[in-house]
Amino acid sequence: MSTLKVTNLQKLDGSTFPVGKVGQMVSATNSTAQTTTSSSYVATSLAVNITPSSTNSKIYIISTSAVSNNNTSDVCRYSIMRDSTVLSGGSMAVLFSSASNDIRIGTCVQFLDSPSTTSQITYALGHRTGGVATSTVNKNGYTGSITAIEVLAWVQN
């Protein structure tokens, strides 16, 4: 196996390529079906704990799962939660307008968080309904996953 070590990668125009750094990555899976009829977000057990090494770190969270909405006239929503806080920029809504009930679809919810702490944080997939439907995560034994990645350095364009 060969190793290539460089101090800088330079473009033809003389500028350098931006470099990002990952500090740590934690991941978990869960196959327990979890339901709610709540109109407020409820954290699922699809969760990970991470302790940032710096207050300047960003945490990128991504969660995939199969979700179900059993009511064609209600919306189920899914979001990343930091402890009990809903991170609304990383949410998605599921509304089924067909005549079929209980449709399952795959979801991917992600968020880039700036928690500004070096204390342990729990990130979880949260879900809620409009108050009529039942939202189910991991129905029929589907295995969902959640990953949190500490980003130490990043380039924003």
Mind listing the pLDDT tens digit for each residue in 127-153? Answer: 998 888 888 899 888 899 999 999 987
| DSSP-assigned letter for residue 16 | B
Mind listing the pLDDT tens digit for each residue in 37-88? Answer: 999 999 999 999 999 999 999 999 999 998 888 877 788 889 999 999 999 7
Q: Establish if 10 belongs to a structural domain.
A: no
Residues 6+ apart with CB under 8 A from 80: 61, 63, 87, 90, 91, 109, 110, 111, 113, 123, 124, 125, 126
Banded model confidence at residue 97, pLDDT cuts 50, 70, 90: very low
Q: Establish if 9 belongs to a structural domain.
A: no
Residues 6+ apart with CB under 8 A from 122: 47, 48, 49, 82, 83
Number of domains comprising the chain: 1
Residue where the block lists tokens 């470099």: 19
Q: Establish if 142 belongs to a structural domain.
A: yes
Report whether pLDDT(20) > 90. Answer: no
**Residue range(s) defining the domain that contains residue 50:** 21-153
Q: Establish if 71 belongs to a structural domain.
A: yes
| DSSP-assigned letter for residue 150 | E
The pLDDT of residue 68 is 84
Q: Establish if 11 belongs to a structural domain.
A: no
| DSSP-assigned letter for residue 95 | E
Q: Establish if 8 belongs to a structural domain.
A: no
Residue where the block lists tokens 């033809």: 12
151: Cα separation from own chain's centroid: 15
Q: Establish if 13 belongs to a structural domain.
A: no
Q: Establish if 7 belongs to a structural domain.
A: no
Report pTM.
0.82
Give the Cα separation of 115 and 58 in Å (integer).
Answer: 7
Report whether pLDDT(110) > 70. Answer: yes
Give the Cα separation of 45 and 14 in Å (integer).
Answer: 49
CB atoms within 10 A of CB 57: 24
CATH number of the domain encompassing residue 44: 2.60.120.1340
